[in-house]
Amino acid sequence: MDLVRNLFGSTIGRKLIMAVTGVVLIGFVVGHLVGNLQVYENPDRINGYAHFLQSLGPLLWAVRAFLLGCVTLHIWSATVLMLESRRARGDEPYAVNRWIQAAVSSRYMRGTGYVVLAFILYHLAQFTVGVAQPASFKTNLPHYTMGSDYHIAGLTVVRAGTDVLDVRSMVIRGFANPVVSVFYIVAVGLLSLHLLHGADSLFQTLGWRSQRWERGLRVVVTLLCAAYFLGNLAIPGGVLLGMLK
């Protein structure tokens, strides 16, 4: 009980909550990207992958609930820490030189976080729940017959000949709308900035950042965030450029 009280009732505890949930969410978005990039491979890949996830049933919803809990705790801890910082600072604005020296990703951390949240909700509504899809789309979901087995870690999880949803076609249809694609690209760009600053904060909270390693860590994190953005850009970009059909 004391541990829970210390975690949720202290600044250090809330920073730790934000860091741990941040690690979980970073792992998810990276794994999500790797899975989505299978859209460039044989349709058996992403369609088999999506069918396997859906076949998990209650376990999949348990994972979704866990991730939603992490998002909620992450936003809560960030908001409370922001309010504490404002109270400690009072009404006195930041000094000009301090504002100029602050990284762009740091200055807009909270704003990007809320935009990313809106994007996540829309993304779930579009591709997971389906409520953001046109009525004609929902009544005519494309299906696909697996041409080969789909394997995970050497185990066959979807057999050839299985009738599955054609998720690849659904993704391409979804991003064929330029407005949706542009919104997705902008949101992922903001998410990449959010990850850039979040990783810095994570290293500091966990005590992994030192003067000796700070510059090198910054370079590595910047490159990884850029790779993450480009990987996500490749999907709507590929649709709009006609590379994915």
Give the closest residue to 123 by CA, choosing from 40, 183, 64, 51: 183
Give domain limits for the chain: 2-240
Using one digit for the tens of pLDDT, what is the confidence trace for 183-237?
A: 889 888 888 888 887 777 777 766 666 667 777 778 888 899 999 999 999 999 9
Cα Rg, the chain, nearest whole Å: 21
Residue 47 has pLDDT above 90, yes or no: yes
CATH architecture of 2-240: Up-down Bundle (1.20)
Using one digit for the tens of pLDDT, what is the confidence trace for 232-241?
A: 999 999 999 9
Using one digit for the tens of pLDDT, what is the confidence trace for 119-171?
A: 677 666 666 655 555 555 556 778 899 999 999 888 999 999 999 989 898 88
Tell me, what amino acid is at 12?
Answer: I
Report pTM. 0.80
Q: How many residues does the chain have?
A: 245
- What DSSP line would sit under 157-208, residue for residue? EE-TT-EEE-HHHHHHHHHTSHHHHHHHHHHHHHHHHHHHHHHHHHHHHTT-
